[in-house]
């Protein structure tokens, strides 16, 4: 969670006010765009005040997978990009990588807020910002919404676990390196206790923390890889055991491994299969490793990364995690190729409140999954569907996947866009910059405020600057101080 050199300092922080003062003295320099790493702005309302960086291999086609990689405390997106090894396999296997970044403006040590319900819950704070980054990548890059994965180190690992619990409908899989069980702590005061030894809960109680993060969700659940060093005295190995208990309970499988083996770097792997015999949870225990993301520098097919602070030379965890998720082209983890993407997905008609779709049949499909803006909305048996209850004058994006007899969704189709007819009159809002941000009409970064959608600079983030914003279409705001009409 936090580097040992900062641990004693962190323990002296006794109040929110002191944290704010400390943040002013430990400001993190924004990550530079190193090589192919590029900053992305205007990805959403950004309620968690995060920065988005992205690495996209040259010539990456639509419908490629997407990986979200979360740095640890006192790190940056650039450090994770440089040392973790994800760009190497993005180039080789063909997928996009998003590197979110938090700063000391959010947390004195630039930690993701895995212990804060206002940051790590569904629809809130940093978690919501990260999901907005996913949606932006899906819309701008055409990323496959059924193959989105999240991984993280330390505080980033804790946030990754929380995201898997809060958004199992967004993430198909995850990896937690030197991290915490989902919802282990719900306050700053409880965070240190989780790190040194999580609560003594039963597997069912740990599983309930996941189920409670998105009440009513019935699956499918993400596949989870857990990486832990036996000599980690920042996040103790007991957390890996709790993570295993948590996710095997969610999957409804036992805690006796289906198989075990030994990997390079003194690494022991245990595999826990689902009812269909496919790996659902895997644990990787690295003997003698401290608090770190395991990397294995070199040019070999199974090597990656650069040794640095909190990136220790043991084994390329990125390679094994990618294979576990099926990013290497091995299809669904554990065996079996997925059905191909439906061809010919077409918008056949729109009204004020409906969109009609059709597509070509896929051999072997028992049904189809229809996704609107990345969220599954229907499972028709045939090759046509009409989406209803929509808003007039609004843009919607659709993809379709074939589903086989076992319920496994295949590759997602190319995205099509529909704009419903009609439209509401533009809305106008006059308020201070502070109030615009609080209402979700603008975001703040670097002390300045930017209108959502247009990214117009509105000036300093305070209660003294007032602007009128015009919203048209929904979610797109422009400065209209000289007059705001429909």
- The β-bridge relationship of strands 96-101 and 259-263 is unpaired
Q: Is 305 left (phi over 0), alpha (psi -120 to 50) or beta?
A: left
Whether cis (ω within 30° of 0) applies to the bond prior to 447 is no
- Tell the residue number behind the tokens 């505080």, with chain if given: 155
Closest CA to 388 of 374, 400, 370, 415: 370
User: Which residue in 79, 101, 73, 93 sits closest to 5, CA to CA?
Assistant: 73
- Catalogue the active-site residues: 154
**End-to-end C-alpha distance for the chain, whole angstroms:** 50
**Spatial CB neighbours of 72, under 8 Å, sequence gap ≥ 6:** 1, 111, 152, 153, 154, 155, 156, 157, 178, 293, 310
∠ Cα 406 409 413 (to 5°): 150
Q: How far apart are CA 366 and CA 187, in angstroms?
A: 46
Instruction: Show the beta-strand stretches assigned E in 251-338.
Output: 259-263, 267-273, 279-286, 293-295, 311-313
Q: How many residues in the chain?
A: 486
The DSSP secondary structure of 189-217, one letter per residue, reads HHHHHHHHS-----HHHHHHHHHTTSTT-
């Amino acid at each position: 969670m936090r580097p040992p050199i900062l641990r004693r300092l962190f323990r002296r922080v006794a109040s929110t006010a002191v944290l704010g003062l400390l943040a002013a003295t430990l400001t993190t320099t924004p990550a530079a765009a190193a090589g192919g790493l590029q900053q992305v702005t205007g990805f959403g309302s950004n309620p968690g005040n995060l920065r988005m960086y992205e690495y996209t291999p040259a010539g990456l086609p639509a419908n490629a997978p997407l990986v979200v990689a979360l740095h640890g405390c006192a790190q940056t997106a650039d450090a994770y990009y440089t040392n973790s090894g994800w760009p190497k396999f993005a180039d080789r296997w063909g997928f996009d990588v998003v590197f979110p970044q938090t700063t000391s403006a959010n947390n004195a040590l630039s930690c993701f807020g895995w212990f804060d319900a206002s940051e790590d819950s569904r629809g809130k704070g940093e978690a919501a910002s990260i999901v907005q980054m996913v949606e932006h990548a899906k819309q701008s890059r055409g990323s496959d919404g059924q193959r989105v994965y999240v991984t993280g180190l330390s505080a980033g690992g804790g946030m990754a676990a929380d995201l898997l619990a809060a958004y199992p409908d967004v993430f198909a899989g995850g990896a937690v390196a030197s991290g915490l069980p989902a919802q282990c702590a719900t306050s700053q005061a409880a965070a240190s206790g989780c790190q040194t030894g999580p609560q003594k809960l039963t597997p069912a109680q740990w599983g309930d923390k996941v189920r409670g993060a998105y009440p009513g969700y019935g699956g499918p659940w993400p596949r989870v890889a857990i990486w832990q060093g036996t000599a980690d005295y920042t996040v103790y190995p007991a957390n890996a055991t709790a993570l295993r208990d948590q996710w095997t309970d969610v999957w409804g499988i036992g805690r006796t491994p289906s198989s075990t083996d030994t990997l390079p770097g003194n690494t022991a792997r245990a595999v826990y299969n689902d009812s269909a015999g496919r790996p659902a949870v895997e644990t990787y225990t690295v003997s003698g490793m401290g608090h770190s993301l395991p990397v294995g520098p070199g040019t070999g097919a199974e090597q990656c990364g650069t040794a640095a602070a909190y990136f220790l030379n043991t084994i390329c965890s990125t390679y094994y995690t990618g294979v576990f998720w099926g990013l290497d082209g091995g299809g669904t983890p554990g065996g079996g190729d997925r059905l191909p993407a439906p061809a010919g997905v077409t918008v056949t008609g729109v009204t004020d409140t409906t969109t009609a779709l059709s597509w070509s049949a896929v051999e072997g499909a028992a049904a189809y999954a229809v996704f609107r803006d990345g969220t599954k909305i229907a499972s028709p048996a045939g090759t046509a569907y009409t989406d209803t209850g929509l808003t007039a004058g609004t843009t919607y994006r659709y993809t379709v996947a074939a589903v086989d007899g076992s319920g496994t969704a295949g590759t997602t189709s190319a995205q099509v866009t529909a704009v419903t007819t009609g439209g509401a009159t533009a809305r106008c809002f006059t308020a201070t910059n502070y109030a615009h941000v609080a209402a979700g009409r603008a975001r703040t970064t670097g002390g300045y405020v930017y209108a959502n959608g247009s990214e117009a600079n509105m000036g300093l983030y305070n209660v003294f600057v007032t602007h009128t914003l015009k919203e048209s279409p929904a979610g797109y705001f422009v400065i209209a101080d000289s007059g705001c009409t429909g």
